[in-house]
Amino acid sequence: MLPQIIHTYQNRTLDSLRWTNFTPRDDDIVISTPYKSGTTWTQEIVLHLVFVGRQAPYREEVSPWLDARFRPVDEVLRILENQRHRRFIKTHLALDGLPFFTQVKYIVVGRDPRDVFMSLWNHYASFTPDFLTFINELPDSVGGPFPPAPADIHEFWRDWITRGWFEWEQEGYPFWGNMHHMQTWWDYRHLPNILFVHFADLLADTAGQTRRMADFLEIAANDEQIAHIAQQTSLTAMRTRAEKNDPGMRNVWVNGARSFFYKGTNGRWREVLTAEELAIYERTATAALTPDCKAWLEGARIPA
Protein backbone atom coordinates (compact mmCIF):
# COMPACT_ATOMS: atom_id res chain seq x y z
CA MET A 1 0.00 0.00 0.00
CA LEU A 2 1.31 3.43 -0.92
CA PRO A 3 1.37 6.45 1.43
CA GLN A 4 -1.82 8.46 1.68
CA ILE A 5 -2.51 12.04 2.76
CA ILE A 6 -4.39 12.03 6.07
CA HIS A 7 -3.43 15.45 7.49
CA THR A 8 -3.29 19.03 6.25
CA TYR A 9 -0.33 20.99 7.60
CA GLN A 10 -1.03 24.68 7.86
CA ASN A 11 0.51 27.18 10.25
CA ARG A 12 2.52 30.39 10.03
CA THR A 13 5.25 28.67 8.00
CA LEU A 14 3.80 25.60 6.29
CA ASP A 15 0.92 24.98 3.93
CA SER A 16 0.77 21.45 2.58
CA LEU A 17 -1.97 22.45 0.13
CA ARG A 18 0.66 24.29 -1.91
CA TRP A 19 1.51 20.88 -3.40
CA THR A 20 -2.03 20.53 -4.83
CA ASN A 21 -1.18 21.89 -8.28
CA PHE A 22 2.33 20.46 -8.46
CA THR A 23 2.87 18.34 -11.58
CA PRO A 24 5.72 15.84 -11.14
CA ARG A 25 8.23 14.85 -13.79
CA ASP A 26 9.58 11.34 -14.02
CA ASP A 27 13.07 12.35 -12.87
CA ASP A 28 12.09 14.73 -10.04
CA ILE A 29 13.89 14.57 -6.71
CA VAL A 30 12.26 15.54 -3.41
CA ILE A 31 14.44 16.13 -0.33
CA SER A 32 12.50 15.71 2.89
CA THR A 33 13.67 16.47 6.42
CA PRO A 34 11.88 17.74 9.54
CA TYR A 35 14.34 20.65 10.10
CA LYS A 36 17.94 21.05 11.23
CA SER A 37 18.77 17.54 10.04
CA GLY A 38 20.91 18.30 7.02
CA THR A 39 18.35 19.74 4.61
CA THR A 40 20.57 22.39 3.05
CA TRP A 41 23.57 20.09 3.11
CA THR A 42 21.66 17.45 1.15
CA GLN A 43 20.30 20.06 -1.26
CA GLU A 44 23.85 21.21 -1.91
CA ILE A 45 25.05 17.67 -2.57
CA VAL A 46 22.15 16.98 -4.93
CA LEU A 47 22.73 20.34 -6.65
CA HIS A 48 26.32 19.38 -7.43
CA LEU A 49 25.26 15.92 -8.57
CA VAL A 50 22.60 17.28 -10.91
CA PHE A 51 25.11 19.75 -12.35
CA VAL A 52 28.11 17.41 -12.19
CA GLY A 53 30.71 18.49 -14.75
CA ARG A 54 29.03 21.89 -15.11
CA GLN A 55 29.01 25.16 -13.20
CA ALA A 56 26.35 24.83 -10.50
CA PRO A 57 24.04 27.79 -9.83
CA TYR A 58 23.36 29.01 -6.31
CA ARG A 59 21.09 26.56 -4.49
CA GLU A 60 18.37 29.04 -3.55
CA GLU A 61 17.88 29.93 -7.20
CA VAL A 62 16.88 26.40 -8.25
CA SER A 63 15.71 24.32 -5.26
CA PRO A 64 12.62 25.92 -3.70
CA TRP A 65 10.88 24.96 -0.47
CA LEU A 66 7.45 24.40 -1.96
CA ASP A 67 5.39 24.09 1.24
CA ALA A 68 6.75 27.32 2.78
CA ARG A 69 4.44 30.33 2.73
CA PHE A 70 7.27 32.79 2.14
CA ARG A 71 6.75 33.16 -1.61
CA PRO A 72 3.51 33.06 -3.63
CA VAL A 73 2.87 29.47 -4.63
CA ASP A 74 2.13 30.40 -8.26
CA GLU A 75 5.57 31.99 -8.49
CA VAL A 76 7.29 28.89 -7.08
CA LEU A 77 5.38 26.54 -9.39
CA ARG A 78 6.23 28.76 -12.37
CA ILE A 79 9.93 28.62 -11.49
CA LEU A 80 9.76 24.84 -11.30
CA GLU A 81 7.82 24.55 -14.53
CA ASN A 82 10.41 26.65 -16.38
CA GLN A 83 13.37 24.57 -15.20
CA ARG A 84 14.96 22.40 -17.88
CA HIS A 85 17.52 20.69 -15.67
CA ARG A 86 16.57 17.85 -13.34
CA ARG A 87 14.47 19.36 -10.56
CA PHE A 88 15.10 18.87 -6.85
CA ILE A 89 12.61 20.28 -4.38
CA LYS A 90 12.78 20.78 -0.64
CA THR A 91 9.94 19.85 1.72
CA HIS A 92 9.56 19.84 5.48
CA LEU A 93 6.30 17.87 5.32
CA ALA A 94 5.66 14.56 6.99
CA LEU A 95 4.65 11.86 4.53
CA ASP A 96 1.08 11.84 5.86
CA GLY A 97 0.63 15.36 4.44
CA LEU A 98 2.58 15.13 1.18
CA PRO A 99 1.46 13.74 -2.20
CA PHE A 100 3.46 10.62 -3.00
CA PHE A 101 4.48 9.92 -6.59
CA THR A 102 5.94 6.56 -7.57
CA GLN A 103 8.04 8.12 -10.35
CA VAL A 104 9.74 10.62 -8.00
CA LYS A 105 12.92 9.88 -6.02
CA TYR A 106 12.76 10.87 -2.33
CA ILE A 107 15.80 11.46 -0.13
CA VAL A 108 14.90 11.51 3.57
CA VAL A 109 17.45 12.79 6.06
CA GLY A 110 17.33 11.97 9.77
CA ARG A 111 19.28 13.05 12.83
CA ASP A 112 19.31 12.25 16.54
CA PRO A 113 16.41 14.35 17.92
CA ARG A 114 18.62 15.70 20.69
CA ASP A 115 21.07 17.02 18.11
CA VAL A 116 18.16 18.45 16.13
CA PHE A 117 17.10 20.32 19.25
CA MET A 118 20.51 21.88 19.84
CA SER A 119 20.74 23.05 16.23
CA LEU A 120 17.16 24.30 16.28
CA TRP A 121 17.81 26.31 19.46
CA ASN A 122 20.56 28.28 17.72
CA HIS A 123 18.38 28.65 14.61
CA TYR A 124 15.33 29.84 16.57
CA ALA A 125 17.13 32.08 19.06
CA SER A 126 18.86 33.86 16.15
CA PHE A 127 15.64 34.94 14.41
CA THR A 128 15.50 38.69 13.94
CA PRO A 129 12.47 40.66 15.19
CA ASP A 130 11.78 41.69 11.59
CA PHE A 131 11.56 38.06 10.49
CA LEU A 132 9.13 37.18 13.28
CA THR A 133 6.97 40.12 12.22
CA PHE A 134 7.16 38.97 8.60
CA ILE A 135 5.97 35.41 9.24
CA ASN A 136 3.24 36.54 11.62
CA GLU A 137 1.88 38.96 9.03
CA LEU A 138 1.84 36.54 6.09
CA PRO A 139 -1.64 36.45 4.52
CA ASP A 140 -3.96 33.47 5.00
CA SER A 141 -1.88 31.96 7.80
CA VAL A 142 -3.58 29.47 10.06
CA GLY A 143 -3.36 29.26 13.84
CA GLY A 144 -1.95 31.57 16.44
CA PRO A 145 1.14 33.75 16.04
CA PHE A 146 4.58 32.21 16.01
CA PRO A 147 6.21 33.16 19.33
CA PRO A 148 9.73 34.50 19.82
CA ALA A 149 12.29 32.15 21.34
CA PRO A 150 12.26 32.01 25.13
CA ALA A 151 15.30 33.39 26.91
CA ASP A 152 16.22 30.03 28.38
CA ILE A 153 17.15 26.90 26.43
CA HIS A 154 15.62 24.66 29.11
CA GLU A 155 12.26 26.39 28.75
CA PHE A 156 12.40 25.78 25.02
CA TRP A 157 13.28 22.14 25.62
CA ARG A 158 10.23 21.60 27.84
CA ASP A 159 7.93 23.00 25.18
CA TRP A 160 9.62 21.37 22.21
CA ILE A 161 9.79 17.87 23.67
CA THR A 162 6.28 17.75 25.20
CA ARG A 163 4.01 19.76 22.87
CA GLY A 164 3.03 19.57 19.24
CA TRP A 165 1.84 22.43 17.08
CA PHE A 166 -0.61 20.05 15.42
CA GLU A 167 -2.98 17.93 17.48
CA TRP A 168 -1.68 14.64 16.04
CA GLU A 169 1.91 15.41 17.11
CA GLN A 170 3.48 14.93 20.52
CA GLU A 171 6.51 17.18 20.09
CA GLY A 172 8.00 19.97 18.02
CA TYR A 173 6.34 23.14 19.37
CA PRO A 174 6.32 25.87 18.15
CA PHE A 175 7.53 24.39 14.86
CA TRP A 176 6.22 20.95 13.84
CA GLY A 177 6.94 17.38 14.79
CA ASN A 178 10.49 16.23 14.19
CA MET A 179 9.86 12.66 15.40
CA HIS A 180 6.42 12.43 13.83
CA HIS A 181 7.90 13.49 10.51
CA MET A 182 10.58 10.81 10.62
CA GLN A 183 8.20 8.05 11.66
CA THR A 184 5.81 8.71 8.77
CA TRP A 185 8.68 8.23 6.32
CA TRP A 186 10.25 5.31 8.21
CA ASP A 187 7.03 3.35 7.88
CA TYR A 188 7.58 3.31 4.08
CA ARG A 189 11.34 2.88 3.97
CA HIS A 190 10.86 -0.38 2.03
CA LEU A 191 9.68 1.50 -1.06
CA PRO A 192 12.35 1.53 -3.78
CA ASN A 193 12.10 5.26 -4.51
CA ILE A 194 12.91 6.35 -0.93
CA LEU A 195 16.51 6.68 0.30
CA PHE A 196 17.29 7.28 3.98
CA VAL A 197 20.41 9.23 4.89
CA HIS A 198 21.62 9.87 8.44
CA PHE A 199 23.24 13.17 9.41
CA ALA A 200 25.92 11.35 11.41
CA ASP A 201 26.89 9.34 8.32
CA LEU A 202 27.10 12.52 6.26
CA LEU A 203 29.38 13.97 8.90
CA ALA A 204 31.60 10.89 9.10
CA ASP A 205 31.84 10.17 5.36
CA THR A 206 30.49 12.90 3.12
CA ALA A 207 31.99 11.34 0.00
CA GLY A 208 30.53 7.92 0.77
CA GLN A 209 27.06 9.30 1.34
CA THR A 210 27.36 11.42 -1.80
CA ARG A 211 28.14 8.22 -3.72
CA ARG A 212 25.03 6.58 -2.20
CA MET A 213 22.90 9.49 -3.39
CA ALA A 214 24.47 9.45 -6.85
CA ASP A 215 23.78 5.73 -7.22
CA PHE A 216 20.22 6.12 -5.96
CA LEU A 217 19.57 9.00 -8.36
CA GLU A 218 21.29 7.11 -11.20
CA ILE A 219 23.74 9.96 -11.76
CA ALA A 220 27.13 9.00 -13.18
CA ALA A 221 29.98 10.59 -11.24
CA ASN A 222 33.57 9.42 -10.97
CA ASP A 223 35.58 9.33 -7.74
CA GLU A 224 37.28 12.64 -8.46
CA GLN A 225 33.93 14.33 -8.99
CA ILE A 226 32.52 12.81 -5.80
CA ALA A 227 35.53 14.04 -3.83
CA HIS A 228 35.11 17.52 -5.33
CA ILE A 229 31.43 17.58 -4.35
CA ALA A 230 32.32 16.59 -0.78
CA GLN A 231 34.77 19.50 -0.68
CA GLN A 232 32.26 21.95 -2.16
CA THR A 233 29.61 20.96 0.39
CA SER A 234 31.69 21.43 3.53
CA LEU A 235 30.20 23.73 6.18
CA THR A 236 32.81 26.39 5.43
CA ALA A 237 32.24 26.26 1.68
CA MET A 238 28.46 26.47 2.04
CA ARG A 239 28.73 29.36 4.51
CA THR A 240 31.09 31.25 2.21
CA ARG A 241 28.74 30.87 -0.78
CA ALA A 242 25.75 31.98 1.28
CA GLU A 243 27.55 35.07 2.55
CA LYS A 244 28.40 35.99 -1.03
CA ASN A 245 25.11 35.12 -2.75
CA ASP A 246 22.44 35.59 -0.10
CA PRO A 247 22.92 38.79 1.94
CA GLY A 248 19.19 38.66 2.71
CA MET A 249 19.90 35.95 5.28
CA ARG A 250 20.75 38.78 7.68
CA ASN A 251 17.09 39.75 7.58
CA VAL A 252 16.19 36.33 8.98
CA TRP A 253 19.02 35.48 11.38
CA VAL A 254 21.29 37.67 13.45
CA ASN A 255 24.71 37.35 11.78
CA GLY A 256 23.07 35.88 8.68
CA ALA A 257 24.84 32.87 7.18
CA ARG A 258 27.12 32.53 10.20
CA SER A 259 24.07 31.83 12.35
CA PHE A 260 22.43 29.52 9.81
CA PHE A 261 25.59 27.52 9.07
CA TYR A 262 26.55 27.30 12.72
CA LYS A 263 28.48 24.27 14.00
CA GLY A 264 27.18 21.21 12.16
CA THR A 265 28.27 18.95 15.01
CA ASN A 266 26.61 16.29 17.13
CA GLY A 267 26.59 15.54 20.86
CA ARG A 268 26.37 19.07 22.28
CA TRP A 269 23.18 18.10 24.12
CA ARG A 270 25.24 15.95 26.50
CA GLU A 271 26.58 19.08 28.20
CA VAL A 272 23.23 20.88 28.26
CA LEU A 273 20.31 18.56 28.99
CA THR A 274 19.86 17.27 32.52
CA ALA A 275 19.07 13.68 33.49
CA GLU A 276 15.46 14.74 34.14
CA GLU A 277 15.22 16.39 30.73
CA LEU A 278 16.64 13.30 29.05
CA ALA A 279 14.07 11.18 30.86
CA ILE A 280 11.35 13.34 29.29
CA TYR A 281 12.99 12.76 25.92
CA GLU A 282 12.86 9.00 26.45
CA ARG A 283 9.15 9.11 27.25
CA THR A 284 8.30 11.22 24.21
CA ALA A 285 10.57 9.32 21.82
CA THR A 286 9.22 5.96 22.99
CA ALA A 287 5.67 7.16 22.36
CA ALA A 288 6.35 8.87 19.03
CA LEU A 289 8.77 6.42 17.40
CA THR A 290 8.91 2.70 16.79
CA PRO A 291 11.95 1.10 18.47
CA ASP A 292 13.80 0.59 15.20
CA CYS A 293 13.24 4.16 14.02
CA LYS A 294 14.32 5.51 17.41
CA ALA A 295 17.45 3.36 17.36
CA TRP A 296 18.34 4.47 13.82
CA LEU A 297 17.92 8.14 14.67
CA GLU A 298 20.07 7.73 17.76
CA GLY A 299 22.85 6.23 15.69
CA ALA A 300 22.31 2.48 15.51
CA ARG A 301 23.27 1.26 12.08
CA ILE A 302 20.00 -0.39 11.24
CA PRO A 303 19.63 -0.71 7.45
CA ALA A 304 17.22 1.95 6.27
Helices (H), the chain: 39-50, 59-62, 73-82, 113-125, 129-136, 153-162, 178-186, 199-204, 206-217, 223-232, 235-245, 257-260, 275-288, 291-297
Exposed, middle or buried by CB within 10 Å (0-12, 13-18, 19+), for 296? buried
- Are the C-beta atoms of residues 229 and 218 closer than 8 Å to each other? no
Q: How many CB atoms lie within 10 A of CB 121?
A: 20
Of 7, 48, 92, 154, the catalytic one is 92
Q: Is 92 among the residues known to form the active site? A: yes
The bridge status of strand 194-198 relative to strand 105-110 is parallel
Q: Helix 275-288 and helix 113-125: axis angle, to 10°?
A: 110
Handedness of CA 23, 29, 34, 35 (dihedral sign): negative
- Are the C-beta atoms of residues 35 and 219 closer than 8 Å to each other? no
Catalytic positions, please?
92
